[in-house]
Amino acid sequence: MHVVFIGIHAAKVRKCLQAMPGDCVFLIIFVFMKPATIREFIAKIGSSLGELYSDAAEGKSVAEYLLASLLHTDRAGLYSIGGKIDDPQMLQSIQSAVNRLMENEPVQYVIGKTWFGGLEIKVAPDVLIPRPETEELAEWVISMHEKEQDQLEIIDVGTGSGCLALLLKSRLPGAKVSGIDISDAALQLASENAVFHGLEISWLKLDILEAVYCPDAGKKLIVVSNPPYVLDSERETMAERVRLYEPEIALFVPDSDPLRFYRRIAEIFQHDAAAMYFEINPMMDLQLCEMSKQFGFYSEIRNDFFGRNRMLRFIRLSVS
């Protein structure tokens, strides 16, 4: 059976079809947006997304986020728009965006951007969507090194959209900042984000598992990374929006070698880095703490805002 879903009621139709015989053929469903007020759009779109996500509050929040972006305003400005939205081009844009959302595509990819530490970040399916936990990692680095920023070289390994490198450079303008990634598409996107914000960052294509990197000998080196750390065995427990749309190469590691990226980064920078800051899988915290000792570092763990062991710092034993 092959069905194409179009329109805001796709989730309802999908649930119905799941209960039907597998050899049935069904029609394509078209539901077009009609002129409506902002509150009517939020109620209609939010209700359908709420059913898809099994979370009414999230559905409403995504509807607001989408409409605010399409109408170039914020949430407060959104509710101040009076009258009905009846422009045909805008109605078509809303319809097209909602169609994609109802196929479980993340709203950040649908609108092509997100926000990270107050910075607008362009995103696409070539890169992970920046998370609040990663923003917490950046804030930790900033809090520890703000007073010595002119002495620093910061290397972001696996930079993706460049969000970490961008936020660090924006808040530590005196530091030399570089971003490394294996993906040409990711580096292009990161470069565009840097140009948009007027930030001077060096971008380098490198397979960190195979290559080496020579840092600036005249600087104090800080390494940051949000490497792939989700176990292959965790795939089926992840939300469909993540599993089907975000890049596998930036998410998953084999269960047989879950620390491969951390180990390789430590190998490369063990003699040069004063500190390394990582986002981690909470299940790997003890193993990573043990690994730090093997490379001449001690470790410090920090919780994210959910209370999970999500951030880890390697600090050279000779550095206070």
pLDDT at 31: 52
Higher pLDDT, 246 or 29: 246
Domain positions in the chain are 10-103, 125-316
Higher pLDDT, 18 or 125: 125
Three-state DSSP class for 277? strand
Q: Whole-angstrom Cα distance, residue 112 to residue 69?
A: 10
Contact 267, 291 (CB under 8 A): no
pLDDT at 217: 80
Among residues 166, 148, 185, the alpha carbon closest in space to that of 224 is found at: 166
> What percent of the chain is modeled with pLDDT above 70?
89
Contact 107, 98 (CB under 8 A): no
pLDDT at 105: 97
Pick the CATH number of 125-316 from 3.30.70.2740, 3.90.960.10, 3.40.50.150, 3.20.20.70: 3.40.50.150
pLDDT at 3: 47
Contact 160, 188 (CB under 8 A): no
Over residues 252-311, the pLDDT tens digits come to: 999 999 999 999 999 999 999 999 999 999 999 999 999 999 999 999 999 999 999 999
Going across the sheet that includes 273-279, the strands are 202-205, 176-181, 152-157, 220-225, 273-279, 309-316, 297-303
Contact 309, 301 (CB under 8 A): yes
DSSP β-bridge partners for residue 275: 222, 315
Instruction: Kindly tell me if the per-residue pLDDT of 6 is higher than 90.
Output: no
Instruction: Kindly tell me if the per-residue pLDDT of 13 is higher than 90.
Output: no
Q: Whole-angstrom Cα distance, residue 63 to residue 61?
A: 5
Asked which of 9-18, 31-40, 102-111, 118-127 is least confident by mean pLDDT, the reply is 9-18
Instruction: Name every residue whose Cβ is closer than 8 Å to that of residue 66 and which is 6 or more positions away in sequence.
Output: 45, 94, 97, 98, 101, 107, 110, 111
Instruction: Kindly tell me if the per-residue pLDDT of 62 is higher than 50.
Output: yes
**Pairing mode, strands 202-205 and 176-181:** parallel
Over residues 48-59, the pLDDT tens digits come to: 999 999 999 999
pLDDT at 215: 81
Q: Whole-angstrom Cα distance, residue 245 to residue 125?
A: 6
Instruction: Kindly tell me if the per-residue pLDDT of 16 is higher than 90.
Output: no
* DSSP one-letter code for 148: G
* DSSP one-letter code for 13: H
